[in-house]
Amino acid sequence: MKNLITIISTLLTIGYSHAQLHGIANNSDSPNVKLKSINIGDCVWTEGFWADKFNVCSSTMVPHMGTILKGDTGHAYNNFKIAAGLKEGEAKGKLWHDGDFYKWMESAMYVYAQNKDEKINNELDEIIEVIAKAQEDNGYLSTHIQIRKIEPFSKITNHELYNSGHLLTSACIHNRITGKTNFLNIAIKHADNLYNIFQSPSEELVHFGFNPSQIMGLVELYRTTKDKRYLELSEIFINNRGKEKMKWGTDHSSVPFWFVGDAFQDRTPLREETEAVGHAVLALYLYSGAADVYAETGEKALLDALEKIRASVVDKKMYITGACGQVDHGAYGYGDMVHEAFDADYAMPNASAYCETCANIGNAMFNWRMLGLKGESKYADIMELVMLNSALSGISVDGKNYFYQNPLRAISGKTTVDENDKQAHQIHKQDHQRQAYLDCFCCPPNIVRTIAKVSGWAYSLSKNGVAVNLYGGNKLNTKMLDGSELKLSQSTQYPWKGKINITINKCKKEPFDLMLRIPEWATGSKITVNGMETVSKITPGKFTVINRKWKKGDSVSLDMPMDIKLIGGHSEIEEVRNQVAIKRGPIVYCAESTDLPKYSKILDIYLPQSSELKANYIPNLLGGVTTISGDIKLRKEKTNGMYYEVKKPEWETVKTKFIPYFSWANRGLSEMTVWLPIIWE
């Protein structure tokens, strides 16, 4: 009788939550998530912007990157073969290169979830077999360390736990999409080893979670296996932040000076933190992992800290493009040296902005998790801002070349890095042109997997409804939390046009909520149901919730004004005083020297406030984009010396076009700027 009651209870639980057991985040049973994931593959892009991007992703981005990483240039797969004893050679690439390879594998899985190409499935099985052979008997797996015969976890900067996190996440996604356990078994064996080592870490091991993708990975493995040890370990890694100060003279004495204190969020315990600090990628991975932990534990102190930190990012340290990480190297707070990091409030340089692609994507990842926890549309606003601007800028239109940094201004001949810092100097030389391969290859597979999975972010499931987070032509075929089927289609040319049409194709008979995100910029939006009924209460920056008995054939139309707006910056952002950026809908625009008269410099252009700006869609430009045309003024006189006597300038009025920021540097070497000095007339 007791067993029967248990079975019935389990079935009731499954009946309520089985709709999203195969989501990007398997938060079906997460008690503190308000908006749950749809299953991977439930939403498929059908037309327009994101459909075009996904097509490039599946046809070019993923296979092209696979050729790189499996070949001698990327060498990542070679490392696994060498560690497995299947190939002779030396470890190449960075110490975190295993993680890059796992991210590429994850990208391929998302593509497979939609196109069901068995070649992808079979190739992954072959790769997983090699990874299994490379894994040590005790579960340890980090190819550089194994090939070089370095003692595991002997040096903090070996990035072993970063590799671990992407292994665990990739394996969970593979299991959800394919139903297979071959990759998952590797992950479980690896996580068991981590638990044995880090459940009660020695003084030397307390700081090893500094590049914390393992927190997200452990929570996802817990959600997949229900083994509470993995959730326990994820909390341990959070609890260790700020717990002890790193001591010198140990095995970690060779740690670079920028890996201490605030540099990697280790000066202040996370629950006491009030602002975003340190390396931007590490920070946003930590905050994302902590959000995952809160989803399971409901610990209020974690959520309170995350809300303060998120406000610090969005209100005081984030670029207009959604990008994060203001500085390459610098001092912060207590004098801690930081690297690729958040800086002081409103310290927002343009030409030297670091804005690593991984950090920008991390901002979207963090806000996606906060969207689930809080159920508020402002988090999806940031997701969209990042995805349509600072994330997409990290990859070329053809899907084959990559940016590491995403500055908001590019000036020919600028030098900002010590020549002795060869890696950083190489990265800065890439400001003006995307590269086919980056020695530090973390960003390329990150942007590719994000494009591959973004359809899984487009919708969420509420207690009795569905939330539309991101707009784009698509079909949704999912189940609501009560198990009822829901099919709908979305037709739109967003983000170039503001009209979105949603048609209900199948649904339950009982009333449910359709939640439409109204972006904060979309003042004046209108919603109609079946062409007649007008929804009156529409608040920008909020979800508009329409509750009714829906039926097949019902249609909802959302019309958002796509006005061209001039955006200014906070008075304390010195670099943008008396300057404006151009924004239309969610898209941030830039001026590129390619569109200026020959030999013109980007710093010589000014925007008259009276310039009549017009939007124009050009299908054969940069993959199809809406440009903005208008008059600008070129300052004709040339200045000599660092300072000069100011006289009334001579102007030349010229017509130009502004292009979406994400699409710059696709037409050869060029200068670029998002922010333009304005002439008030």
How does DSSP classify residue 14? H
Domain boundary among 559, 578, 601: 559
Q: Please report the sign of the dihedral spanned by the C-alpha atoms of residue 333, residue 339, residue 345, residue 348.
A: positive
Residues 288 and 436 in one domain: yes
> By three-state DSSP, how is residue 632 classified?
strand
In the structure, what pLDDT confidence band is assigned to residue 262 with cuts at 50, 70 and 90?
confident
Residues 287 and 339 in one domain: yes
Residues 551 and 587 in one domain: no
Please provide the DSSP assignment of 307-366 as one string: HHHHHHIIIII--TTS----EEEEEETTTEEEEEE--STT---STT----HHHHHHHHHH
Residues 403 and 328 in one domain: yes
Residues 380 and 488 in one domain: no
Exposed (0-12), middle (13-18) or buried (19+): which is 244, by Cβ within 10 Å? Answer: exposed
Residue 398 domain-assigned (yes or no) = yes
For 287-302, letters b (16+ CB in 10 Å) and e give bbbbbbbbbbbebeeb
What's the pLDDT at 216? 98
Residues 526 and 631 in one domain: no
User: CA-CA distance, 140 to 449, in Å (whole number)?
Assistant: 25
Please provide the DSSP assignment of 356-392 as one string: -HHHHHHHHHHHHHHHHHH--HHHHHHHHHIIIIIIG
Q: In the predicted model, what is the mean pLDDT of the chain?
A: 92
Residue 374 domain-assigned (yes or no) = yes
Q: Which amino acid is at 173?
A: I
Residue 213 domain-assigned (yes or no) = no
Residues 305 and 419 in one domain: yes
pLDDT digits (tens, 9 = 90+) for 71-113: 999 999 999 999 999 999 999 999 999 999 999 999 999 999 9
Strand order in the sheet with 43-47: 43-47, 473-479, 485-492, 499-506, 555-559, 526-529, 533-535
Residues 555 and 476 in one domain: yes
pLDDT digits (tens, 9 = 90+) for 297-351: 999 999 999 999 999 999 999 999 999 999 998 877 777 778 899 999 999 999 9
495 upstream amide cis, omega within 30 of 0: yes
For 383-414, letters b (16+ CB in 10 Å) and e give bbbbbbbbbbbbbbbebbbbbbbbbbbbbeee
pLDDT digits (tens, 9 = 90+) for 510-549: 999 999 999 999 999 999 999 987 888 899 999 999 999 9
Residues 551 and 593 in one domain: no
pLDDT above 80 for 485 = yes
Residues 361 and 414 in one domain: yes
What's the pLDDT at 8? 35
Q: Which residue segment(s) compose the domain that 594 sits in?
A: 564-679
Q: Mean pLDDT throughout 574-585?
A: 97
In the structure, what pLDDT confidence band is assigned to residue 246 with cuts at 50, 70 and 90?
low
pLDDT digits (tens, 9 = 90+) for 599-633: 889 999 999 999 999 999 999 999 999 999 999 99
More confident residue, 210 or 150: 150
In the structure, what pLDDT confidence band is assigned to residue 242 with cuts at 50, 70 and 90?
confident
pLDDT digits (tens, 9 = 90+) for 369-394: 999 999 999 999 999 999 999 999 99
Task: Return the HEC string of 179-224.
Answer: CCCHHHHHHHHHHHHHHHHHCCCCCCCCCCCCCCHHHHHHHHHHHH
Question: Which residues lie below 8 Å from residue 461, measured CB to CB, with a gap of 6+?
Answer: 19, 20, 35, 36, 37, 38, 467, 478, 480, 481
Residues 404 and 265 in one domain: yes
Strand partners, 459: 468
Q: Mean pLDDT throughout 574-590?
A: 97
In the structure, what pLDDT confidence band is assigned to residue 21 with cuts at 50, 70 and 90?
confident
What's the pLDDT at 19? 58
What's the pLDDT at 13? 39
User: CA-CA distance, 247 to 99, in Å (whole number)?
Assistant: 28
Q: What are phi and psi of 205, to 5 degrees?
A: -100, -5
pLDDT above 80 for 16 = no
Helix 160-178 and helix 118-134: axis angle, to 10°? 140
What's the pLDDT at 248? 41
Residue 585 domain-assigned (yes or no) = yes
What's the pLDDT at 257? 54
Residue 650 domain-assigned (yes or no) = yes
Number of structural domains, the chain?
3
What's the pLDDT at 251? 46
Q: What are phi and psi of 111, to 5 degrees?
A: -65, -45
Alpha-carbon distances of 253 from 95, 207, 247, 256, rounded to whole Å: 18, 13, 8, 8
Residue 453 domain-assigned (yes or no) = no
What's the pLDDT at 9? 38
What's the pLDDT at 397? 98
In the structure, what pLDDT confidence band is assigned to residue 362 with cuts at 50, 70 and 90?
very high
User: CA-CA distance, 481 to 598, in Å (whole number)?
Assistant: 59
pLDDT digits (tens, 9 = 90+) for 382-440: 999 999 999 999 999 999 999 999 999 999 854 344 444 444 434 344 457 899 999 99
**Percentage of the chain modeled with pLDDT above 70:** 92
Q: Which amino acid is at 54?
A: F
The mean-pLDDT minimum among 62-66, 114-118, 241-245, 456-460 falls in 241-245
Residue 141: CA count within 13 A, CB half-sphere: 32
In the structure, what pLDDT confidence band is assigned to residue 14 with cuts at 50, 70 and 90?
very low
Residue 253 domain-assigned (yes or no) = no
Q: Considering the entire predicted model, what is its pTM?
A: 0.94
Residues 465 and 496 in one domain: yes
Other beta carbons within 10 Å of 577: 13
CATH of the domain at 538: 2.60.40
Residue 152 domain-assigned (yes or no) = no
pLDDT above 90 for 36 = yes
